[in-house]
Amino acid sequence: MASTLVTVAALAAIVIHLVTASPLMDTLLQVPDLSTYAEVYNLTGGIVEINPLFLKRYNYDEDKRNYTFLAPTNDAWAKIPDAIFDILMTQQAYPLTEALLRTHIIEAGLTASELVKVSESEGAGGISTSLQVSNTTEQYHNGVLTKTVQGYYIDSITSSNDTVQIDDQSAIVTANIVADNGLIHAIDQVIDPFLIYGGGPSNRTMAPTSETTDLTIGELLKSDSRLVNSSKILFENSPDTLRRLSQQTGSTQFFVAPRNEAYDLMPTILPIFHTLVAPYKSPFNTLMWQYGWLDSDGDTFAGLNFSSPITVASDITGLNITVTQEENAIFIMNAGLVTQVRTSNGYLWIVDRWLDPLYQAFGPIDRFGTPEWP
Ligand SMILES: *[C@@H]1O[C@H](CO)[C@@H](O)[C@H](O)[C@H]1NC(C)=O
Ligand SMILES: *[C@@H]1O[C@H](CO)[C@@H](O)[C@H](O)[C@H]1NC(C)=O
Ligand SMILES: *[C@@H]1O[C@H](CO)[C@@H](O)[C@H](O)[C@H]1NC(C)=O
Ligand SMILES: *[C@@H]1O[C@H](CO)[C@@H](O)[C@H](O)[C@H]1NC(C)=O
Ligand SMILES: *[C@@H]1O[C@H](CO)[C@@H](O)[C@H](O)[C@H]1NC(C)=O
Ligand SMILES: *[C@@H]1O[C@H](CO)[C@@H](O)[C@H](O)[C@H]1NC(C)=O
Ligand SMILES: *[C@@H]1O[C@H](CO)[C@@H](O)[C@H](O)[C@H]1NC(C)=O
Ligand SMILES: *[C@@H]1O[C@H](CO)[C@@H](O)[C@H](O)[C@H]1NC(C)=O
């Protein structure tokens, strides 16, 4: 493996000899090509005191743990449309951005070559066995899975030219930048964890069905046997959303809920269902739910004709919801529409995937031809 390390280092394009070892955050600030990443930390409270948690954890010497930062380069951040980037930098979107940033941090100092092989000895370099998973699980898994501090695993493989590729979305362009408390690898695209978390994009080909009910959206959610899992998660995370969806508001609401089977597509290695109902993840989960909610203008979607795509800004997050049609099938972002239910206070869309609010926002999702979904 030593030769792999040398090769990966040799491929590194950015000259980093100006960096003097210091904690991770301070080291980031010294690499010009990572200045946007440092700025993102600043704007989201990482370095300034709005949320000192990131700074305390990743920049203080009293925390004896080592970390690996997967740091998107300035070019990687520049791939994100400005309107989406600006939303990610708002206080409102913080739970989403925080989850995103935490998906780019690993609690152990791992070199690029250690990312693509499972640590052999238990506890080596502070690595617990659960940090990395061997290449034996079939589901959504091409290489070596490494756990991030968000709880999701990222999947790393070595390409034929020895570049380390992550989740088929991103590649390491500069490996092994040394900090006092860990390592930084510059990557060329921000990793979208929410897509894999939801089982990849829908492969639906059938047209959706339509139904009508006298119930409200909220009442339907609570009683429909197709939506048991969604209603359970929603009830735990955001009873207020459920309450509002049960009211006649005088306007046509619109809400998206994954059917039961959507949860079975989530990688089994991740205790996703468990974390979705965990109170400590609630601000993030609630934001994910509210992304698929429009308080009014639900009629926009009534006709089920999307021969031209329709884009509407989601009320709470401001992120766009885009609906497209491919032959008969209708997609809302990554999810396929199974059934439209016209209710007494709006439209409920039953879909086959957990919605990814950042679908394709960072760049192509299957860049290297080895996507993790079937
Ligand atoms: C981030 O904030 C720190 C502390 O205020 C400051 O020293 C640094 O220049 C800022 N960096 C960027 C990239 O905004
Ligand atoms: C939403 O879509 C509109 C129209 O395509 C676009 O002008 C706007 O920048 C988009 N906003 C976001 C946050 O993506
Ligand atoms: C952190 O990394 C340093 C340098 O590789 C090592 O000496 C130290 O033991 C590591 N600390 C932990 C807690 O693993
Ligand atoms: C993972 O398994 C696949 C298929 O069995 C194999 O081609 C690949 O080389 C393995 N990767 C690693 C890192 O062991
Ligand atoms: C290595 O291959 C990947 C495609 O797998 C490509 O994107 C990248 O530019 C190549 N890197 C080098 C240094 O040739
Ligand atoms: C989702 O719902 C189905 C049917 O009620 C159930 O069998 C399955 O275990 C649920 N999935 C999760 C992750 O709870
Ligand atoms: C869908 O809408 C387009 C115009 O946006 C129209 O040309 C087409 O006939 C409609 N298709 C159906 C099946 O109604
Ligand atoms: C979509 O993928 C699932 C899971 O691999 C598979 O069972 C199903 O047959 C596929 N559907 C289509 C229409 O290809």
Q: Are residues 132 and 259 in the same domain?
A: no
Same domain, 26 and 60: yes
Asked if residue 125 is part of any domain, the answer here is yes
Distance CA 150, CA 127 (A): 16
307 Cα–ligand 2 center, Å: 19
Residue 370 lies in a domain: no
Overall number of domains in the chain = 2
Distance of CA 16 to the CA centre of its chain: 29
For the segment 83-132, what is each residue's pLDDT rounded down to a tens digit?
Answer: 999 999 888 888 888 889 889 999 889 999 999 987 655 443 444 457 88
Note whether 130 and 188 are same-domain residues: yes
Indicate which CATH number applies to the domain containing 242: 2.30.180.10
What is the C-alpha to C-alpha distance for residues 319 and 106, in angstroms, rounded to an integer? Answer: 28
Specify whether 178 is located in the same domain as 232.
no
- pLDDT score for 195: 86
Its domain, for residue 345, covers: 209-351
- Residues 168-216 have pLDDT tens digits of 999 999 999 999 889 999 999 999 988 887 888 999 999 999 999 999 9
Task: Look at residues 196, 225, 246 and tell me which one is the last residue of a structural domain.
Answer: 196
Distance (Å, rounded) from C-alpha 181 to C-alpha 167?
25
Comparing 138 with 5, the larger pLDDT belongs to 138
Q: Is residue 358 part of a domain?
A: no
For residues 142 and 224, membership in a common domain is answered with no
- Tell me: do 172 and 320 sit in the same domain: no
Look at residue 175 and tell me if it is in a domain: yes
Please give the distance, rounded to the nearest whole angstrom, from the Cα atom of residue 271 to the centre of ligand 3: 29
- Whether 255 maps to a domain, the answer reads yes
Q: From CA 177, how far away is CA 36, in angstroms rounded?
A: 17
Question: Residues 335-366: pLDDT tens digits?
Answer: 999 999 999 999 999 999 999 999 999 999 99
Q: Under a CB-based contact definition with an 8 Å cutoff, are residues 290 and 312 in contact?
A: no
Nearest C-alpha to atom 12 of ligand 7 is from which residue? 305
Judge if 177 and 267 occupy the same domain.
no
Which of residues 164, 196, 228 is at a domain's end?
196
pLDDT at 315: 86
Q: Which ligand minimizes its atom distance to the CA of 231?
A: 6
- Closest atom of ligand 4 relative to the 157 alpha carbon: 13
Cα gap 50→18, rounded to integer Å = 30
Q: Cα(58)–Cα(23) distance, rounded to whole angstroms? A: 7
User: Which residue among 203, 334, 353 is best mutated to probe the pocket of ligand 8, counting the most ligand atoms within 8 A of its Cβ?
Assistant: 203
Proportion of the chain above pLDDT 70, given as a percent: 80
Q: Is 305 in the pocket of ligand 7 (CB under 6 A)?
A: yes
pLDDT tier at 228, thresholds 50, 70, 90: very high
Residue 336, CA distances (Å) to 156, 257, 265, 278 in order:
28, 11, 13, 27
**What are the tens digits of pLDDT across the range 263-308?**
888 877 666 666 666 656 677 878 888 888 998 889 999 999 999 9
pLDDT score of 254 more than 70: yes
CA of residue 247 to ligand 6 center, whole Å: 27
In a domain, 179, yes or no: yes
Lining residues, ligand 8, CB within 6 Å: 203, 205, 374
Which atom, in ligand 1's list, is nearest to the CA of 42? 1
Comparing 248 with 53, the larger pLDDT belongs to: 248
In a domain, 126, yes or no: yes
Q: Are residues 27 and 166 in the same domain?
A: yes
In this structure, the answer to whether residues 213 and 236 fall within a common structural domain is yes
Residues 308 and 177 in one domain: no
Residue 373, pLDDT above cutoff 80: no
**Residues 132 and 119 sit within 8 Å (Cβ to Cβ):** yes
Residue 302 token pair: 């009534």
Ligand 8: nearest atom to the Cα of 265: 4
Q: Which ligand is nearest to the CA of 42?
A: 1
| pLDDT score at 45 | 57
The pick from 210, 301, 304, 305 for probing ligand 7's pocket by mutation, whose C-beta has the most ligand atoms within 8 angstroms, reads: 305
Per residue in 57-96, pLDDT (tens digit) is: 666 656 678 899 999 999 999 999 999 999 998 888 888 8
CA of 86 to the centre of ligand 2 (A): 11
Pocket test for ligand 3, best of 61, 66, 177 (most atoms within 8 A of CB): 66
Residue 13 shares a structural domain with residue 146: yes
Same domain, 188 and 215: no
Q: Assess contact for 288 and 100: CB atoms under 8 A.
A: no
Nearest bound ligand to the CA of residue 317: 2
In a domain, 365, yes or no: no
Atom number in ligand 5 closest to CA 159: 5
Burial-class residue 146 by CB neighbours within 10 Å (0-12, 13-18, 19+): buried
Query: Does ligand 6 come within 6 angstroms of the Cβ of 345?
Result: no
